[in-house]
């Protein structure tokens, strides 16, 4: 019986050791602007009067789980799961529960500010909204005038969120071609790899799969709804066999039947060897392949002729060849109810795009596509969309891309990537900007809910970039490291203080959900839509004057049809005029009763009242089995050809391998005395956005660096010793966690800690910042950040 | 009048600690790692990389076991620890003198000191918050992503917990001590 882990033992053994005890932070005393840490009376729920419950959607991570907010006397006292939402299945994770601490965080951005000191110094003066808008207007007009109406002299950046598109409408109306979002530090390669191979980024039917290979994904810690909930009710010999492939022993490994400690960055060799076994032993679904594959014979002969044998892969991956053979056979024995889990992480190795292609093809060999227990495309409830305003500015230059260069065999691509995706390459763009390789001057920057100083490898370079920008406008809720380099700070309302654009969630059980405002925005904060409405109202006419001055096309049009008519097409205020609630009502107007259901219950789907059933206190049924969208295309992939694309000659034209193959350059050895730096996620934190959350820091106040126990012993490192981690680009400091859960030649710590912003009371220099030391490696296809390609040194300090 | 207990499908637990945060929010528990009514127990992993014992890293959600024969209640000199009408082991802060006998007597280490009231505190199955409002789940059960917990009346043969305990095997912690816990770990 191992359950005898006592409170004391638990505390001793826990990384979550805290010295924070006693800082009582309860909702009421956070309403003041001071950092009052006075102990309050017990703040349990049910003590206030005037109680109401408002359905909303969580924003503590990307999942958007449905929550019910309990409000007592105008204060949110509790967030509970909203059982009506099929995606989040009646649950809220620790971060979802801690949303209240984010709302009442005393460090929140409270009013508009203009920089008063040097960039990064953290000195700002409080201004009125109009003063802030005036400042932005003046600087924007100056830059646009000097750049002769080249709208692309401004860069727009956004993090993920329900209002990301609202901000993007500002970028589109403004007319810049420079858009950088989270994609290139997020899931660009996985989405694109599956996109070109299967025609879409599929979901996984974790409720019915019998065999799951989870490689480089960690659903017990990087929670994705509903995958996490569906999977772990069925592991441990309860219906789903789980093979976890990860260089670290994660919480997912703890729930697996088999854990395979793979060498970082070699998953592609593992998949190719699985494929080799399946092809040579002819275990694949021959009927499915004959009907649904393109380029199968070429791929088959490539894999076989290259001798991607289990023995070959074993030497590269450190996974025993017998295990590879066994897994390949077991997977195909369970197919099509077998899943090679796609995952949705950042790019780790330079071969990630090819890895995703190989995974998608392997999945197809078992026929587990668009079918129960396999990968599924599902259905999506359509929303009414409106035309966005995207005026044509003749003087606006194209996106600031790298130079076109000749790749091998006369093929062309760009100097830092083969394909420029809509979200761009953060590292590529930033480095070109710093190296003076821009085709024109980019002088201003609007940032929404995005923290590139923390989220993009090589923080020092991102800081340099922000310092070089003449105008940086940041819209955010927290004084992040990035906000410290802003010239103007515009405080956004917290997610519990605003109604966001309604969103449709596709899948097996499609639904529509809405984030409803729970309480009025505190301080002087506003939803981004309201911020942009006011800002564009002030900007619209003056910047049109600049267009009039330089844009000959516009001049001609005005002569022909008059200024009023032309201005109507250039009025950047247009997309923001309507209020959010009204906008949402229109978007769902084709579904009777939807707007009301979304406002009062948070969730809507056709026949919800008929279909939704509570099966037990914990379990609910959202759709009857016969209505679940397991198969929507008769098992065919969503590619234009309707087939799994093994061999893409159009990729070859851009200098990309047309089929997934292993290249010698993917192999590496770690120099003596160095360690492979690994980063990753955690169930209690979502990147840097949650690093100052008091309730989450209560569980783990700082991140720790995992060092193999034997190595730690050799180096005289003990638990909680301070360690300096350094690479060619920087240094960071954090405490040690010696453990056997990591290889002797690797170190790991979770992302999102070690912020340098002094305005973050708790996050300031708490733990280490991975991106201070991760080097700016990019993968060759999209220029996405390759985050596991850095070797580091460690020393006790 | 009920006899409340809880069944834990502990193999579902992924150690995400949603229950810990939900408990603290619902019941207004102080911050600090030594202030918690519930927790997830883990042991140090056994073996050497890469040959590690998966079983040694099992997660055990834990808390007050609401024993039918609770040592904490027996040793309390002021009757501050008592069984309420629903057989829940409770602490009356008005009577507690912080002698800490109960903390030593509890074999499950389920008690801690609330620094505001300077008395001993522990899980009470959300009695004075959720149950008082007529809700049928505890905060930890409601929020759990993988639905580890089933809370309910052990005396009601129709309750879900009674049904589950009839249908599935379960164990109690430190059964040899004769404390008769009302928390059941489902096998």
Query: Confidence band (pLDDT; 50, 70, 90) for A391?
Result: confident
Q: Provide the shortest C-alpha distance from residue A621 to chain B (in Å).
A: 15
Residues B44, B57: Cα–Cα separation, whole Å: 7
Residues A216, A662: Cα–Cα separation, whole Å: 18
Average pLDDT over residues B165-170: 97
Q: Provide the shortest C-alpha distance from residue B166 to chain A (in Å).
A: 16
Q: For A595-614, write each residue's pLDDT tens digit.
A: 999 999 999 999 999 999 99
Average pLDDT over residues A88-111: 97
Tell me which residue has tokens 């149950």.
B131
Q: For position A541, what pLDDT does the model report?
A: 97
Residues A609, A725: Cα–Cα separation, whole Å: 56
Query: Confidence band (pLDDT; 50, 70, 90) for A730?
Result: very high
Which of residues A46, A70, A103 is at a domain's end? A103
Residue A11 in this model has a pLDDT that exceeds 80: no
Residue A172: both structure tokens together: 């589109």
Q: Are A729 and A775 in contact (CB under 8 A)?
A: yes
Q: Are A696 and A771 in contact (CB under 8 A)?
A: no
- Give domain status of residue A206, yes or no: yes
Q: Which residues of A touch B112 (CB under 8 A)?
A: 7
Query: Confidence band (pLDDT; 50, 70, 90) for A34?
Result: very low
Q: Calculate helix-pair angle for A580-587, A594-601, nearest 10 degrees.
A: 130
Residue A18 in this model has a pLDDT that exceeds 90: no
Fold of the CATH domain B4-186: Alpha-Beta Plaits (3.30.70)
Query: Confidence band (pLDDT; 50, 70, 90) for A13?
Result: very low
Q: Are residues A472 and A366 in the same domain?
A: no
Residues A171, A535: Cα–Cα separation, whole Å: 13
| Number of domains composing chain A | 4
- Give domain status of residue A435, yes or no: yes
Q: Are A523 and A493 in contact (CB under 8 A)?
A: no
- Give domain status of residue A557, yes or no: no
What's A107-137 look like in SS3? CCCCCCEEECCCCCCCCEEECCHHHHHHHHH
Angle at A131 between CA A120 and CA A484, to 5 degrees: 10
Residues A698, A25: Cα–Cα separation, whole Å: 11
Q: For B140-151, write each residue's pLDDT tens digit.
A: 999 999 999 999
Q: Are residues A409 and A323 in the same domain?
A: no
- Chain A neighbours among B 27-56 (CB < 8 Å)? 27-28, 30-35, 39, 41-45, 47-50, 52, 54-56
Q: For A444-493, write each residue's pLDDT tens digit.
A: 999 999 999 999 999 999 999 999 999 999 999 999 999 999 999 999 99
Q: Provide the shortest C-alpha distance from residue B25 to chain A (in Å).
A: 6
Strands B47-48 and A375-376: unpaired
Q: Are residues A695 and A637 in the same domain?
A: no
Cα→Cα distances B161→A39, A399, B63, B165, B175, Å: 38, 61, 18, 6, 19
- For the question of an ipTM over 0.95, the answer is yes
Average pLDDT over residues B99-123: 96
Q: For position A405, what pLDDT does the model report?
A: 65
Strands A444-448 and A471-476: parallel
- Give domain status of residue A658, yes or no: no
Query: What is the percentage of chain A residues whose pLDDT exceeds 70?
Result: 93
- Give domain status of residue A565, yes or no: no
Q: Which of A143-152, A349-358, A382-391, B36-45 has the lowest mean pLDDT?
A: A382-391
Query: Confidence band (pLDDT; 50, 70, 90) for A3?
Result: very low
What does pLDDT average to over chain A? 92
Mutate to test the interface with A, among B7, B12, B14 (most CBs of A within 10 A): B14
Residue A411 in this model has a pLDDT that exceeds 80: no
CATH number for the domain spanning A73: value is 2.20.25.90
Average pLDDT over residues A428-450: 95
Q: Are residues A132 and A22 in the same domain?
A: no
Q: Are residues A177 and A193 in the same domain?
A: no
Residues B131, A266: Cα–Cα separation, whole Å: 52
Distance of CA A677 to the CA centre of its chain: 20
Q: Are residues A234 and A310 in the same domain?
A: yes
Residues A431, A437: Cα–Cα separation, whole Å: 8
Strands B170-171 and B183-186: antiparallel
Q: Which residues of A touch B28 (CB under 8 A)?
A: 26, 42-45
Which value, in Å, is the radius of gyration of the alpha carbons in chain A? 26
Residue A37 in this model has a pLDDT that exceeds 70: no
Average pLDDT over residues A166-184: 95
- Give domain status of residue A474, yes or no: yes
Q: For position B43, what pLDDT does the model report?
A: 86
Q: Which residues of B touch A675 (CB under 8 A)?
A: none
Q: Which domain holds residue A86?
A: 7-103
What 8-state DSSP symbol labels residue A682? B
Q: Which residues of B touch A5 (CB under 8 A)?
A: 41-43, 60, 62
Residues A206, A373: Cα–Cα separation, whole Å: 7
Query: Confidence band (pLDDT; 50, 70, 90) for A61?
Result: very high
Q: Which residue of A has its CA nearest to B17?
A: A94
Q: Are residues A456 and A487 in the same domain?
A: yes
What 8-state DSSP symbol labels residue A15? T
Average pLDDT over residues A277-281: 98
Q: Are residues A445 and A361 in the same domain?
A: no
Cis peptide before A336 (omega within 30 of 0): yes
Q: Provide the shortest C-alpha distance from residue B118 to chain A (in Å).
A: 12
Answer whether A617 sits within 8 Å of B160, measured CB to CB: yes
Residues 6+ apart with CB under 8 A from A710: A744, B48
Q: For position A413, what pLDDT does the model report?
A: 55
Which of residues A103, A123, A144 is at a domain's end? A103
Identify which of A769, A783, A792 has the alpha carbon closest to the alpha carbon of residue A264: A792
- Give domain status of residue A361, yes or no: yes
Query: Confidence band (pLDDT; 50, 70, 90) for B33?
Result: confident
Q: Which of A415-419, A421-425, A501-505, A686-690 has the lowest mean pLDDT?
A: A415-419
Residue A143: both structure tokens together: 């830059």
Residue A725: both structure tokens together: 């981690």
Tell me which residue has tokens 């050809």.
A641
Residue A389 in this model has a pLDDT that exceeds 90: no
Q: Are residues A333 and A460 in the same domain?
A: no
Q: For position A9, what pLDDT does the model report?
A: 42
Residue A35 in this model has a pLDDT that exceeds 80: no
Residue A513 in this model has a pLDDT that exceeds 90: yes
Q: Are residues A430 and A339 in the same domain?
A: no
Q: Are residues A30 and A67 in the same domain?
A: yes
Q: Collapsing DSSP states into helix, strand and coil, what is residue B70?
A: coil
- Give domain status of residue A727, yes or no: yes
Q: Are B37 and B64 in contact (CB under 8 A)?
A: yes
CB pairs under 8 A between A and B: 226
Q: Are residues A269 and A323 in the same domain?
A: yes
Residues A339, A332: Cα–Cα separation, whole Å: 10
Which of residues A545, A561, A590 is at a domain's end? A545
Residues A488, A473: Cα–Cα separation, whole Å: 5
Strands A258-260 and A241-245: parallel
Average pLDDT over residues B2-7: 97
Identify which of A789, A67, A766 has the alpha carbon closest to the alpha carbon of residue A454: A766
Instruction: Considering only the C-alpha atoms of chain A, give the largest distance between any 2 of them, rounded to a whole number of Å.
Output: 86
Q: Are A681 and A187 in contact (CB under 8 A)?
A: no
């Amino acid at each position: 019986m191992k359950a005898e882990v006592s409170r004391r033992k638990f505390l001793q053994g826990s990384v979550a050791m805290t010295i924070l005890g006693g800082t009582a932070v309860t909702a009421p005393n956070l309403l003041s602007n001071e950092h009052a840490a006075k102990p309050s009376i017990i703040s349990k729920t049910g003590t206030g009067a005037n109680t109401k419950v408002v359905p909303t959607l969580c924003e503590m991570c990307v999942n958007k789980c449905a929550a019910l907010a309990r409000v007592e006397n105008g204060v949110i006292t509790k967030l509970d799961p909203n059982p009506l939402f099929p995606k989040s299945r009646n649950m809220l994770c620790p971060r979802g529960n801690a949303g209240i601490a984010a709302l009442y965080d005393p460090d929140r951005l409270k009013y508009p500010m203009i920089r008063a000191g040097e960039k990064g110094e953290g000195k700002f003066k409080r201004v009125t909204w109009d003063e802030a808008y005036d400042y932005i207007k003046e600087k924007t007009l100056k830059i646009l005038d000097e750049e002769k109406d080249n709208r692309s002299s401004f860069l727009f950046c956004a993090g993920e969120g329900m209002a990301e598109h609202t901000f993007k409408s500002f970028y589109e109306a403004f007319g810049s071609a420079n858009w950088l979002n989270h994609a290139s530090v997020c899931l660009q390669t996985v989405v694109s790899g599956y996109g070109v191979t299967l025609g879409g980024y599929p979901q996984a039917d974790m409720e019915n799969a019998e065999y799951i290979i989870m490689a480089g994904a960690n659903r017990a810690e990087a929670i994705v709804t509903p995958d996490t909930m569906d999977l772990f009710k069925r592991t441990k010999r309860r219906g789903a066999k789980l093979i976890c492939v990860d260089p670290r022993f994660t919480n997912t490994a703890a729930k697996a039947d088999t854990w395979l400690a793979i060498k970082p960055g070699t998953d592609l060799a593992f998949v190719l060897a699985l494929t080799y076994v399946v092809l040579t032993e002819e275990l694949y679904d021959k009927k499915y392949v004959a009907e649904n594959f393109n380029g199968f014979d070429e791929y088959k002969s490539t894999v076989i002729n290259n001798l991607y044998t289990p023995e070959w892969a074993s030497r590269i991956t450190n996974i025993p060849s017998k295990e590879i053979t066994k897994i390949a056979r077991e997977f195909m024995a369970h197919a099509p109810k077998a899943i090679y889990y796609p995952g949705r992480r950042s790019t780790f190795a330079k071969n990630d795009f090819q890895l995703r292609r190989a995974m998608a093809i392997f999945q197809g060999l078992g026929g587990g596509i668009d079918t129960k227990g396999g990968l599924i495309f599902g259905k999506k409830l359509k929303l009414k969309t409106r035309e966005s305003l995207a005026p044509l500015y003749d003087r606006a230059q194209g996106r600031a891309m790298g130079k076109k260069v000749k790749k091998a065999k006369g093929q062309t691509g760009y100097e830092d990537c083969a394909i420029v995706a809509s979200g761009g390459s953060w590292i590529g763009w930033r480095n070109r900007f710093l190296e003076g390789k821009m085709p024109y001057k980019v002088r201003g920057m609007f940032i929404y809910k995005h923290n590139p100083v923390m989220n993009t490898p090589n923080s020092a370079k991102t800081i340099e970039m922000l310092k070089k920008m003449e105008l940086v406008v940041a819209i955010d809720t927290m004084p992040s490291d990035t906000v410290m380099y802003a010239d103007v700070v515009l405080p956004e309302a917290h997610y519990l203080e605003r109604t966001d654009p309604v969103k449709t969630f596709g899948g097996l059980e499609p639904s529509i959900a809405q984030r409803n405002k729970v309480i009025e925005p505190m301080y002087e904060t506003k939803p981004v839509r309201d911020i942009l409405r006011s800002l564009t109202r002030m900007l619209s006419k003056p910047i049109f004057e600049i267009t009039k001055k330089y844009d000959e096309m516009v001049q001609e049009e005005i002569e022909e049809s008059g200024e009023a008519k032309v201005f109507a097409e250039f009025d950047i205020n247009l997309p923001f005029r309507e209020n959010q609630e009204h906008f949402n009502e229109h978007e769902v107007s084709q579904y009777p009763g939807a707007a009301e259901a979304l406002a009062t219950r948070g969730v809507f789907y056709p026949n919800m009242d008929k279909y939704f059933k509570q099966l037990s206190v914990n379990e609910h049924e959202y759709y009857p089995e016969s209505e679940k969208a397991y198969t929507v295309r008769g098992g065919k992939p969503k590619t234009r050809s309707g087939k799994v694309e093994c061999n893409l000659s159009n990729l070859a034209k851009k200098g990309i391998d047309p089929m997934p193959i292993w290249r010698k350059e993917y192999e590496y050895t770690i120099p003596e005395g160095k360690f492979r730096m690994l980063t990753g996620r955690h169930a209690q934190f979502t990147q840097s956005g949650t690093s100052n959350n008091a309730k989450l820091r209560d569980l783990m106040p700082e991140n720790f660096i995992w060092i193999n126990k034997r190595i730690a012993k050799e180096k005289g490192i003990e638990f909680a010793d301070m360690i300096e981690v350094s690479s060619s680009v920087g240094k960071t400091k954090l405490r040690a966690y010696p453990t056997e859960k990591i290889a002797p030649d690797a170190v790991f710590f979770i992302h999102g800690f070690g912020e340098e912003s002094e305005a973050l009371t708790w996050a300031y220099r708490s733990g280490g910042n991975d991106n201070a030391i991760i080097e700016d490696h990019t993968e060759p296809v999209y220029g996405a950040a390759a985050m596991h390609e850095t070797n580091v040194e460690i020393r006790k300090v | 009048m009920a006899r409340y207990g809880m069944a834990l499908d502990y193999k579902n637990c992924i150690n995400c600690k949603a229950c810990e945060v939900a408990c603290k929010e619902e019941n207004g528990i102080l911050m600090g790692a030594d202030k918690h009514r519930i927790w997830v127990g883990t042991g140090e992993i056994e073996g050497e990389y890469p040959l590690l014992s998966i079983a040694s890293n099992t997660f055990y959600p834990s808390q007050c076991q609401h024993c039918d024969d609770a040592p904490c209640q027996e040793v309390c000199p002021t009757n501050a620890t008592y069984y309420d009408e629903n057989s829940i082991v409770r602490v009356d802060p008005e009577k507690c003198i912080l002698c800490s006998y109960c903390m030593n007597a509890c074999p499950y280490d389920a008690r801690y000191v609330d620094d505001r009231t300077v008395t001993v505190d522990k899980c009470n199955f959300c009695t004075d918050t959720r149950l008082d409002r007529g809700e049928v789940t505890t905060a930890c059960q409601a929020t759990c992503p993988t639905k580890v917990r089933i809370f309910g009346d052990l005396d009601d043969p129709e309750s879900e917990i009674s049904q589950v305990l009839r249908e599935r095997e379960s164990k109690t912690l430190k059964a040899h001590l004769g404390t008769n816990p009302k928390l059941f770990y489902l096998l």
